[in-house]
Amino acid sequence: MPMPPVKVPPVKVPPVKVPPVLKDRYGAELGATDEQAVALFDEAVHELVALAGDPVAKAGAAAAVDGELGLAFSLQAYLHCYLTSRTAYADARAVLDQAPKPACGRDEAHQQAASAWAAGDLEAAARHLERALLMAPRDLLALKVAQDLYFFLGDRVNLRDVVARVLPTWPRGTPGAGFVEAMYAFGLEECGDYRAAERHGRAALDADRRDVWAAHAVIHVLEMEGRQSEGTAFAKASAPDWGPSFFAPHNWWHYALYHLELCREPEAVAVYDGPLTALGLASPLYQVDAASLLWRLSLQGTPLARRAEELAGIIEATLGGSTYCFNDWHAVMALGLAGHLSTAADLVADLPGRATGTNKTMLDRAGLDVIRGFLAFAGGEYKLAAELLGQARPHAYVFGGSHAQRDAIDLTLLAAASAAHDENLVRALLAERLARKPTAEAAAHRVIEVSGARA
Ligand SMILES: [Fe+2]
């Protein structure tokens, strides 16, 4: 006898809550439920790319208005990660814990990129963003963060080519295209294509003269080509447009470098006391530029003990919390100039055990030797400094920064060779430097003379 069919009551499966997919200002998809929140997110991205305003506040407001706008959470996480400290990475992870389920491929790629960065894996973060850009070449947030990651990674080819890969989707003259062109200009400059870099940088400035990243690219070109007088004139003319930017102090740092190479140390000191420190020294970005300028002034015979002491005090308050050995290198500069050698030595001794992820790779490949070289120089061990810096400098690109920033290694090596009375090495380094930049001759001789008198 056939069994009567059993009536099974339908099981109620709660629907998976996935927010609708909307579009951002440039047409890239994102999960969100509120157009007003998307507008806030667009503004946050704009401010990050323009390096002006308060993208942290805007991203936070976007997430507060629409808890389903996943990209606002990823953006907040990125903004924490830019601070490159263990505390900041923990803050980024805490934000991501609150993030909604991704609503589209772009949301997911960003969430994975932010998670990777917050875990200290910068290379994985860049890979996820490359995936986002394949899906949406007009994802300006992915482009900006990816280029910055390549900057941290010292990957100058991708610094340029991550932009080249999406450039055709940003026709010149359309909204946002100027920012993209400025990014391309900087990538070209770091790859040594100075003519194209200057052309694209100036075109981006034509699109928006307040674009500090475009001005920065042109400033780098003028620095690398040894066009110091032109550089000071360009920076002075452009500076009134940097007003609202939190990146302005870095452009002023470059302005000070022009003066240093013209052996106008008092002008460089005036920049330190003025616009370079006008926004304070709380951010690692500002600390790096301040330490670098003080170190270079010292190499050229202008030691500034009071300022170094002040900077070292600020840096010591968070010492040991950095997740980026490039910043630890600059901390050692400040500590060394202030005479806090035992504190610097303790920091250096702790670094190998503390570093993880990409930072560990950077430290192992060159960072530790560079940092030890600077510590040795600060302690008067010039022969050791020359050995360490000489062996590290071909690989120093691995801890990121620009050619202009890493030029502190070349200058310190030259100074160490002079202080150690290694005349053959001084001659070779000087020849190398002047072949690359003939207009650096006077400043190079000043470094040699000042250091020759140290020993
Ligand atoms: Fe720069």
- Cα(340) to centroid of ligand 1, in Å? 28
- Cα(251) to centroid of ligand 1, in Å? 7
Residue at which a domain ends, from 129, 163, 198 = 129
Residue at which a domain ends, from 73, 108, 129 = 129
Residue 39 lies in a domain: yes
pTM across the whole model: 0.94
Residue 193 lies in a domain: no
pLDDT, one tens digit per residue, over 258-308 is: 999 999 999 999 999 999 999 999 999 999 999 999 999 999 999 899 999
- Cα(34) to centroid of ligand 1, in Å? 38
Cβ contact 147:163 at 8 Å = yes
> Is the pLDDT reported for residue 346 higher than 90?
yes
H or E stretch covering 324: none
Residue 186 lies in a domain: no
Residue 209 lies in a domain: no
Domain of 424, CATH number, reads: 1.25.40
**DSSP state, residue 30:** E
Q: What is the mean pLDDT of the chain?
A: 95
Count of CB atoms within 10 A of residue 326's CB? 25
Residue at which a domain ends, from 107, 129, 151 = 129
Tokens linked to 50: 């323009």
Residue 363 lies in a domain: yes
pLDDT, one tens digit per residue, over 147-191 is: 999 999 999 999 999 999 999 999 999 999 999 999 999 999 999
Tell me, what's the pLDDT at 386?
Answer: 98
- Cα(191) to centroid of ligand 1, in Å? 14
- Cα(1) to centroid of ligand 1, in Å? 87
pLDDT, one tens digit per residue, over 12-50 is: 655 556 678 999 999 999 999 999 999 999 999 999 999
Tell me, what's the pLDDT at 244?
Answer: 80
> Is the pLDDT reported for residue 143 higher than 60?
yes
H or E stretch covering 170: none
d(CA 240, CA 210): 9
- Cα(173) to centroid of ligand 1, in Å? 26
Cβ contact 407:295 at 8 Å = no
d(CA 434, CA 99): 53
Number of domains in the chain: 2
pLDDT, one tens digit per residue, over 377-436 is: 999 999 999 999 999 999 999 999 999 999 999 999 999 999 999 999 999 999 999 999
What range defines the domain where residue 431 resides? 279-455
- Cα(27) to centroid of ligand 1, in Å? 31
